[in-house]
Structure 1
């Protein structure tokens, strides 16, 4: 038997055992939603590297998104199994010298930075120097990341001159936290600029929305020949952007120049989110500037991202308290329309767009037909992670209500 066949046989056997083991597990329904969803994912994917439906090791943003949420569950509820699940992933992916399996710095892809955020807490608890070296490696990517003339990062080296809202989330919160933890005071202006630059390039005054992306060179087929903006406002792109604000602001000093401008844009985003909330369900559509039109659908990842962002923005005082009503309605809408629980108590979140992009080898035109016909699936990490984060915010709110009621 060839070596490759033996490896496949062993892996197949391990996955089979894991599947049988998972079948015997249940999730208790009297727990908070954040815990129930996190436990459900751990049962579905016994090894944390398997998240995002992966058959092999991968270093990408989805693992970081979910495992960040699970570390937050650990921080709140203290069950070490959530921390151990995250630790198992980074211990597998990060080598002793700080290099990272499947990570290639020379690709200069912002998508590869996001998972680095979980390393801050892992290093803080383990003091294992390999994680500090990995953090430094990811930080070094910004030093060579291709930029436009205004300092805005390209989304990827293979996407020249392109600014995507997705990319702001993938890079800026990590950059901000690294600067905060390492006293890189000169980096804050670069972080702030990524947010404001993206706003300038993607905002469409005709719809009062932010478009998915902009090709500053205006050369791509998907780009408007005059503005460079893509055709539509994609729900999850605006969701990434909103989450980027509330996460990065945790680490940007209150009196840093430009922070007030970030808050102006965040409030603009909040207003847009409120305006486009579906009145009946409290949810949001896949293509925001075509909300309610034939073929469009209510989508779970952007809905969860918006709810999390509004909850946190209200809690931190970034937006008016009136937005709490929008977040509460949206959260209930998620529970009513997207959350399913099976006979073993496993929680699923349905109706998530699997992926959407622009350009590339299999060219994505970014027109309306493209967005509404991309694959839709259950338990996509881009819905799971934000649902856990939104649930944690909601659970915190319940604690506050109990304290107020007691007083």
Structure 2
């Protein structure tokens, strides 16, 4: 063969090989895309899916790494991750799609080291918020048998042993929030505490733990319940030293929607693990009945939603808020489904859910679901100081797709089978 013909033959062969490789890669990528996007259409997230799955897919699109949920740049251990991943667990159990399990697992895999150390977590801060993501560990450990997950859960349980308390035994919300109980803390700590106890404690140790869990609900009722309305104030300062604290009762001055939402979810979730024969069950169910009745009195009748400051819907600046409303749907629906509340509350849950769809949900062209009018954050005290006034609550940042709303929306959707 002549030299020129030989060169042409080699060139043709090289081009053919490149085409074959490109075709192969294209097919591989196509297969991978088809596998990973089985829940989506060419246009995006399928509108034929249930709302629970549509919102979870939207969350995964917004936050491909579960360790960076809540609009953060670096992986961190935080309560919002645990909230959304608890919802993801429900979607996985319903759909059996491994993509959702992997999303949950990846969070723990990134943040739990081989020796059980939890990255970004500091036990010495005694922050009840940090307990919440322990629910992920209690879910994964029986499935994976990875010791690091058990060790990390043990660390969180150890925090509760050392958590500072009020004089009558109530957990401080954080070490730096001295002498204070917040409604938020009941959701952050007690379901994990009860679940851990069910899994790993026995006899007297378990009984003592269950008694302490119920005691937290007793104390929050005792110190934050407003007898006139049946609503519970956001927080209580035993020392009455905080500027936001009533000098006679120690309570904060307003009823914040999401604080009440946290508390409702705490009650229905802790009952999953409290033994059937424990006397505390009936007490908590009683608290739940009073709670639900009080909420109906301040519900917006036109939309079925609730305002940011619950009892001041007619005051200028107040707004219908997504996170609290979603939490109330979940609480009502789960309570009825589990036999804690009468059937009428399921009707109320359906009404509010429709109100969320009609007023707070928008869907993009690619099917991405947005939950709007979410209060980004609210708290008590701190720096800059949060005085718990009406003006404070209604002027905190409002944003779309806050995980403190999307997580409960998914949970509510699951309970209503939407």
TM-score (normalizing by structure 1): 0.90
Name the Cα RMSD after superposition: 1.4
Deviation at 1:263, TM superposition (A): 1.1
The 5 A counterparts of 1:148-297 are: 148-183=166-201, 184-297=206-319
**d(CA) in 2 for partners of 1:227, 1:55:** 41
Contact 2:123–2:159 (CA under 8 A) maintained in structure 1: yes
Instruction: Look up the match of 2:158.
Output: 140
Deviation at 1:384, TM superposition (A): 0.2
1:86–1:63 Cα change, 3 Å: same
Summarize deviations over 1:143-171 as a string: whole Å, max 9, x none.
10000121110000001110000011100
Classify the secondary structure of the residue corresponding to 1:286: coil
Classify the secondary structure of the residue corresponding to 1:214: strand
Matched, 1:316 2:338: yes
Instruction: Look up the match of 1:91.
Output: 109
Summarize deviations over 1:145-203 as a string: whole Å, max 9, x none.
00012111000000111000001110011001011111323210011111111111101
Contact 1:204–1:210 (CA under 8 A) maintained in structure 2: yes
Instruction: Look up the match of 2:27.
Output: none
**d(CA) in 2 for partners of 1:292, 1:85:** 42
Q: Which runs of 5+ in 2 are unaligned?
A: 1-36
Instruction: Look up the match of 1:341.
Output: 363
**d(CA) in 1 for partners of 2:287, 2:313:** 22
Matched, 1:36 2:58: no
Contact 2:186–2:216 (CA under 8 A) maintained in structure 1: yes
Q: Which runs of 5+ in 1 are unaligned?
A: 1-20, 399-407
Classify the secondary structure of the residue corresponding to 2:45: coil
Instruction: Look up the match of 2:10.
Output: none
Instruction: Look up the match of 1:4.
Output: none
**d(CA) in 1 for partners of 2:413, 2:359:** 15
- Structure 1 range deviating more: 35-44 or 201-210: 201-210
Classify the secondary structure of the residue corresponding to 2:362: strand
Instruction: Look up the match of 1:404.
Output: none
**d(CA) in 1 for partners of 2:238, 2:80:** 27
Deviation at 1:258, TM superposition (A): 2.3
Contact 2:126–2:163 (CA under 8 A) maintained in structure 1: yes
Deviation at 1:56, TM superposition (A): 0.8
Deviation at 1:285, TM superposition (A): 0.3
1:276–1:323 Cα change, 3 Å: same
Structure of higher CA gyration radius:
2
From 129, 132, 135, the equivalent of 1:114 is 132
Tell me how many residue pairs correspond in the alignment. 375
Summarize deviations over 1:259-280 as a string: whole Å, max 9, x none.
2111111111110122221100
Instruction: Look up the match of 2:415.
Output: 393
Contact 2:43–2:367 (CA under 8 A) maintained in structure 1: no
Instruction: Look up the match of 2:30.
Output: none
Classify the secondary structure of the residue corresponding to 1:204: coil
Deviation at 1:71, TM superposition (A): 1.1
Contact 1:201–1:214 (CA under 8 A) maintained in structure 2: yes
**d(CA) in 1 for partners of 2:394, 2:229:** 19
Matched, 1:59 2:81: no
Deviation at 1:289, TM superposition (A): 2.1
Instruction: Look up the match of 1:328.
Output: 350
From 9, 12, 26, the equivalent of 2:44 is 26
Summarize deviations over 1:98-151 as a string: whole Å, max 9, x none.
110010001000000001101111111111110000111100001100001211
**d(CA) in 1 for partners of 2:270, 2:110:** 27
Deviation at 1:25, TM superposition (A): 7.5
| Runs of 4+, deviation exceeding 3 Å | none
Classify the secondary structure of the residue corresponding to 2:301: coil
Classify the secondary structure of the residue corresponding to 2:67: helix
**d(CA) in 1 for partners of 2:249, 2:43:** 53
- Structure 1 range deviating more: 303-312 or 43-52: 43-52
TM-score (normalizing by structure 2): 0.88
**d(CA) in 1 for partners of 2:361, 2:255:** 25
**d(CA) in 2 for partners of 1:65, 1:117:** 9
Contact 2:43–2:365 (CA under 8 A) maintained in structure 1: no
